[in-house]
Structure 1
Amino acid sequence: MTRLNIRWRLTLWYGAVLAAVLVIFAVAVDLLMIGLLQSRTDGNLDAQLTVIEGLIGRARDPDELRHDLNLDFASHPVFEMQVTEDGDRSWLRSERIAETGLPMPAVRPSPNGEVVYEDVVIPGFGHGRMLSKAIVTPYASLLVQVALDAEVNAKHLGQLRDVFLSTGPVLLLAALGCGYLLARKALAPVERLAAEADQITATRLDRRLPTPNPDDELGRLARTLNGMIARLERSFGEIQRFTADAAHELRTPLAALRNEAEVTLLAPRDPAEYRRTLESMLEEIEHLTRLTENLLYLCREDALVKPSFEDLRLDLLVRDVTDHMRAVAAAADQSLTLIEPLSGCIVHGDRDQLRRLLFNLIDNSVKYSLADGRIRVGLEFRQEQATLFVEDTGIGIEAEHRPHLFKRFYRVDSARPRTSSATGLGLSICLAVAKAHHGEIDVQSEPGVGTRMTFSLPARAVEPGGRDSAAEVAALE
């Protein structure tokens, strides 16, 4: 079943609320009118009873009282009156009820001035309102009753209800029409926003939605959507740049491989020349392999592939990676030193990712340090935080390049005097690993002096002789 659109839903909700308000208003007015009419009727009955009481009080004897009562009240045009002695022998009965009389009150009033109001059925007239009061005279105990026909009140109430029933639906329909127009007008900016948003495609992410009033609800919605579009634009830009840079990085070694193969095949050569060509091609293939692995790792990070976290000894991992990289540093005529003692600590992280980060940091120091350079690796632990650092005596980095070091494929050309094996992705991978471990990575460098890379992440101390220590040593072995 298709749901109604927001415009119709708002209109129907508005109509339902208005209908409920009208019903409550009509019921309240009806009850108020009933109360007012009854109060007016009771007041009239009380006034007429007061007149009768005055006549009774002025009478000197029973005969005079009977004569005066029948003379003044027997043919009254409005009220029906009855005066009986002890509710039995009649002293007065209006002409219109001469045969039937008024009914006795359901609760007989006491002689101490109590009055009883009640709704009764008057024979020959229908529903009415009756007031009863007991009056004690020197010659008799009288029950005075005054009644008034309620048909007039019922007629007034009926007219009021007819007005409600005839005008209520008309007012409700008119209000629904107005509500629909108001909902349409209120939602018109949403329609315009939808039309504008429809024009924004992957090739037109530079466009933004208009925000005539940035402080109202639609303005905040437009600001939120504009922020999302801006983030999409940045993401698309990064993807395009990443794709272009990756294509460029892959094209260069592939072109070199093709050129070497074509030149080699132009003329017959001796085995030594073929060997040199194959060795050169193998170097390019290794570079392509590293580049492809780094690209694959970053793609997995972008796809939010969850790493395999576990508790591990960071100090033992640092020692293991440093031992492996000593041969690489020695091949470049550099010294790699592990600063002892290492602070024993345990981190919750992915072993392979942390190894890759440390390998990249040490490898960068090797690549950008001259012969006889010195590289130092250390680990500190304090206040529930481990800090790993790699510092070298390399060529350093200019200040203007430091904010861009962690961008993908970013390289400082002057910082690559001795090798062409760098892919420009090593520090991007380090930053991704740091973020995945809720850590931070920082660089301090001075041209001609050296560079210090620092990686900090949450950690905890090693319990002496605990299970963490033994399990980690066994894992490394």
Structure 2
Amino acid sequence: MPLRPKSLQGRLLLGILVCLTATLALGGVVVYRVIDAHLREEFDTALKEKLRFYAITIKFISEDKPFQMKMGKAEFELMNTSAYPDYVEFWYWPREREIYRIPSLTNLKAHLPVVPLKPEEAVFTDFHFPGANTQVRMLSRIIYPPQDESNDPIAVRIAVAKPTHALIEALAEVRWFLIKTGILTTAALMLCAQVIVRRAARHVHALSHQIEAMPLVDSDERFALPGAPSELQPVVRRLNALMDRVGAAIDHERMFTSNAAHELRNPLAAIRSTVEVALSRTRKPEEYEETLEAVLESQAGMQRVVDHLLLLARLESGHQIHEFSLESVSLSKLLRTAWRPSFDRASDRGLKVSWQVEEPAHPLLIPSALVGIVLRNLFDNASSYTPEGGQIRISAAVSGGTATISVANTNPGLTGEDLEKSFSPFWRSDPNASGHRGNAGIGLALVRRIMDTMGGRAEATVEGDFLAYRLIFPAAADPELKAVSEKMV
């Protein structure tokens, strides 16, 4: 596996190093190409000037007279005694008969290569002498030297060549200079980058240390990065918001656990006291029967609380509506069945109940088990908290694949500020009340959670003297099973 730094700072420095190396390498190549082209152009220009010079040194030439130069041959040859002499040849053209060859070529026992030429055309050629590794660059051209007017013009091919040692050495020096400069520049820039990255990353390190040192238990400590760059501020805000949510969740869990224990402890205490009284002396069978009925009633209340807590936890853990089976049910029958457990209580308290149900043409396809729990909780809440002699109004209708069920009762004294709180687990308008009329305070919280799971909503409003809880959720007739299922999911 390729080596990769683990730290953010190391990865940034590695990325900067790669980018700098690539940039400097590319820049060095471009600069070298420019210098190379410039030096070679200068070299070619020098060859052109030398050819022009050698061309004008020819004084007179004809095929029946010896070759003459304006400069003496001794002087001519003295000019080419350096370490890198010029190689010069003159030939008749186009017959290619040698006129003159500079002694440096004679010593090498070599001729300059012949290349195809056209009049007034200059041609550059690169070659190596046989048995030598030295590269030579040659310029060839056809010239017409001055001569007597009586003679026909004679064309001469002149070739001037020069070893490229100096050019190659100069380019090698340029290469090494660019390489050394690139290395030193990269090192200097990496030092600067390290300082900059370290200063820029200090806030990240500080945040990392704060996260590592943050207590895992509930704490009022929060993250703070004064002077941090603007890119980190949203991270700090989100972390603090997350800490607030975690703290609120912990507080909620503690309160939930405390309230659940309290709600279960009361019926347990009642069962214990009832049994203790029954066992305090010998009693008639009828009295033991009454005791057992009281214990059974307390146990039923406890079972109801536990069932609601389990269902609420199941929904809170992310269970979806498609995990609950859809059933074809009659709306009015569903409402009547859910009302039955609250009928006796409402009758005993003298409550007046009115119904306004618009029965759809076809049965509804809904998760009837969940809807039944919601309705039973609403009816239980209304029959328990409506003042004695008050009214309960129940209405239901289905329109456009949406069911609306409203349960309104004489307001027991809730204000607009209490409506949203009433959906919180274990909330009561009277904090001193405990298990009022057998209620644990979980019902409305469960109602809202079930509605959210079904893709609906639960609302509470105060309408004059009435407190109304309204359910709005997807529901469709039997032929529309697929549509309602997709809507709920």
**Structure 1 and Structure 2 fold alike (TM over 0.5):** yes
Instruction: Please tell me whether residue 453 in structure 1 is matched to residue 488 in structure 2.
Output: no
Aligned residue for 1:222, secondary structure, equals helix
The CA deviation string for residues 250-300 of structure 1, in whole angstroms up to 9 with x for no partner, is 222222333333344444555554444444333322221211111111121
8 A contact 2:366–2:475 mirrored in 1: no
Aligned residue for 2:426, secondary structure, equals coil
Instruction: Please tell me whether residue 250 in structure 1 is matched to residue 264 in structure 2.
Output: yes
Instruction: Please tell me whether residue 234 in structure 1 is matched to residue 237 in structure 2.
Output: no
Correspondences of 1:7-406 after superposition (within 5 Å): 7-56=9-58, 59=60, 63=65, 66-68=68-70, 71=73, 73-77=76-80, 79-86=86-93, 88-99=96-107, 100=109, 102-105=111-114, 107-111=115-119, 113-122=120-129, 126-136=134-144, 138-166=152-180, 168-169=182-183, 171-172=185-186, 175-176=189-190, 179-213=193-227, 216-307=230-321, 308-313=323-328, 316-326=330-340, 328-333=342-347, 334-343=351-360, 349-393=366-410, 395=412, 397-406=414-423
Q: Distance in 1 between matches of 2:169 and 2:480?
A: 95
8 A contact 1:311–1:347 mirrored in 2: no
8 A contact 1:397–1:415 mirrored in 2: no
Per-residue deviation, 1:117: 1.1
Change (3 A) 1:416 1:207: closer
**Moved segments of 4+, more than 6 Å:** 345-348, 414-418
| RMSD, matched Cα | 3.4
Aligned residue for 2:437, secondary structure, equals coil
Q: Distance in 2 between matches of 1:343 and 1:70?
A: 127
8 A contact 1:125–1:149 mirrored in 2: no
Aligned residue identity for 2:473: L
Aligned residue for 1:251, secondary structure, equals helix
Q: Percent of pairs identical after alignment?
A: 24
Per-residue deviation, 1:437: 1.1
8 A contact 1:317–1:355 mirrored in 2: no
8 A contact 1:444–1:452 mirrored in 2: yes
8 A contact 2:263–2:435 mirrored in 1: no
Aligned to 2:5: 4
Structure 1: give runs of 5+ residues left out of the alignment: 470-477
Among 440, 453, 460, the residue aligned to 1:443: 460
Per-residue deviation, 1:98: 3.3
Per-residue deviation, 1:245: 1.2
8 A contact 1:253–1:288 mirrored in 2: yes
Per-residue deviation, 1:425: 0.5
Aligned residue for 2:219, secondary structure, equals coil
Aligned residue for 1:413, secondary structure, equals coil
TM-score (norm 1): 0.84
8 A contact 1:211–1:222 mirrored in 2: yes
Aligned residue for 1:66, secondary structure, equals strand
8 A contact 1:209–1:222 mirrored in 2: yes
Change (3 A) 1:310 1:125: closer
8 A contact 2:386–2:412 mirrored in 1: yes
Select between 427-436 and 64-73 the one with higher mean Cα deviation: 64-73
Per-residue deviation, 1:151: 0.4
8 A contact 1:312–1:468 mirrored in 2: no
8 A contact 1:385–1:456 mirrored in 2: yes
Per-residue deviation, 1:136: 3.9
Q: Distance in 1 between matches of 2:365 and 2:99?
A: 108
Change (3 A) 1:424 1:467: closer
Length, aligned pairs only: 461
8 A contact 2:395–2:406 mirrored in 1: yes
Aligned residue for 1:209, secondary structure, equals coil
Select between 320-329 and 250-259 the one with higher mean Cα deviation: 320-329
Select between 25-34 and 410-419 the one with higher mean Cα deviation: 410-419
Aligned residue for 1:380, secondary structure, equals strand
Select between 261-270 and 187-196 the one with higher mean Cα deviation: 261-270
The CA deviation string for residues 161-194 of structure 1, in whole angstroms up to 9 with x for no partner, is 3334555555555555555554444333222112
TM-score (norm 2): 0.82
Aligned to 2:485: none
Q: Distance in 2 between matches of 1:348 and 1:221?
A: 46
Per-residue deviation, 1:4: 3.4
8 A contact 2:358–2:398 mirrored in 1: no
